[in-house]
Structure 1
Amino acid sequence: MSSSSYIKTIFWDIGGVLLTNGWDKDERTEVLSRLGVDLVDYESRHEEANQYWERGLSTAEHFFNVTVLNQNPNLTFAELWPQVCAESKILHPGSFDILGELATSGRYALATLNNESRELNEHRLDAFRLRPFFDYFICSGYVHEMKPHPGIYRAAIEISGHLAETALFIDDKLENCNTAEALGMQAICFESPAQLRDELAQLGLRAA
């Protein structure tokens, strides 16, 4: 199947495709080093706490209390959180161009499909004015499951109201694309805006 007539929904990852990642290794190294936090000590707590935070099962304040603030009593959440948010930046302006063209065309439903805590997701949607581009948002912080677990893809498919075969998924991680394809979706493993535009054209997807 390659005809654009079959594609009804295009699901977009955010971090790595449109923006920098929200709280990945590079971002937390930058912020925590600047604040004098012991990175090795932090990383010993990150993974377990993050499994709850990115699934929307704990709050940002609780996450940072567990991982940072309890060990650094001179640092407050009110001081830390703006610096966490400030690490988010536009990564690929060309991807925004493509997204805008697809949104303007009105030919496809557009949705996010991303791993992110609820609070960072809300910040990034608002700060970078992403909401007008998308019809709805499938985020790990909302549906309580993370890529590449099949559950988040099944939720996306069900919420779309269409068959998996009518969905295209764009993500910069191969393992995430592989799961999408295993569930019947089409996928593009993002490398650059130029490569994305080329692969969309190969699928017959037109933005204008």
Structure 2
Amino acid sequence: MSAGPEIRTIFWDVGGVLLTNGWDIDQRGRVLTALGVDLAAYEAVHDEVNFFWERGLISARDFFERTVLETNPQLALTFEQLWKLVCDESKMLHPECFEMIAHLRRAGSYRLATLNNESKELNRHRIDSFHLRRFFDYFICSGYIHEMKPLPEIYRAAIDISGFAAETAIFIDDKAENCDAARSFGMIPIHFQSPAQLRVSLAQLGIAI
């Protein structure tokens, strides 16, 4: 057991830990290839427009009009039709992680929150579709904070919103660079690799599930 301060908050990444990613390269590859979109042309503009979308500075409609609909008029596709295909890509990734969160929720010893990079619209869809409100006390999302991991502002916001000191927070993420950034703020990072590894890492911090 760690001899550190008492843990008060556990922050969870969503895509890659609990659910599949929302609109990562695999998801957009499947959807856009099936539609006949030129993937190379799409990827050439994705990062520039995504910078604004995942920070909540443009809407999903704006994002897909700029990256898909306006550049592929031959599709005769509406935003609503495309958005359904995007949302359908979200799946549960690790049921065992949900079991751990449910256990922690029942115990009631910790505040549970998400801390993820995602657009407002996808975040809302995933919260509703996977009933995440029954597990988490609050949601820290780049689409609302207007900054993305691993940049410092989103971690600072998470710590401030939690109301507890950074050293009392665990942060679980599947990307090493995001864990490194959390550590620089004094949080306790766990680099997620599997549910079994996560269970062991939590036990080493005195959280047996």
CA contact (8 A) 2:56 2:119 kept: yes
Structure 1 position 2, deviation (Å): 2.3
Task: List per-residue Cα deviations over 1:62-104 (Å, max 9, x = no partner).
Answer: 0000000001122210110000000000111111111111111
> Residue in 2 aligned with 1:30?
30
> Residue in 2 aligned with 1:200?
202
Task: List per-residue Cα deviations over 1:130-165 (Å, max 9, x = no partner).
Answer: 111111110000110000001100000000111110
Alignment of 1:1-208 (within 5 A): 2-3=2-3, 6-73=6-73, 74-207=76-209
Aligned residues: 207
Question: Does the residue aligned with 2:155 lie in a helix, a strand or coil?
Answer: helix
Task: List per-residue Cα deviations over 1:29-69 (Å, max 9, x = no partner).
Answer: 00000111110110111001000000000000000000000
- Taking structure 1 as the reference length, what is the TM-score of the superposition? 0.97
Amino acid at match of 2:88: A
Amino acid at match of 2:206: G
Task: List per-residue Cα deviations over 1:91-137 (Å, max 9, x = no partner).
Answer: 11111111111111100000000000000000001111111111111
CA contact (8 A) 1:4 1:204 kept: no
For structure 2, which runs of at least 5 residues remain unmatched after alignment? none
Question: Does the residue aligned with 2:113 lie in a helix, a strand or coil?
Answer: strand
- Taking structure 2 as the reference length, what is the TM-score of the superposition? 0.97
Separation of aligned partners in 2, 1:3 and 1:196: 19
Structure 1 position 206, deviation (Å): 3.4
CA contact (8 A) 1:112 1:138 kept: yes
Separation of aligned partners in 1, 2:177 and 2:163: 25
CA RMSD of aligned residues (A): 1.2
Identity of aligned residues (%): 64
CA contact (8 A) 1:171 1:189 kept: yes
For structure 1, which runs of at least 5 residues remain unmatched after alignment? none
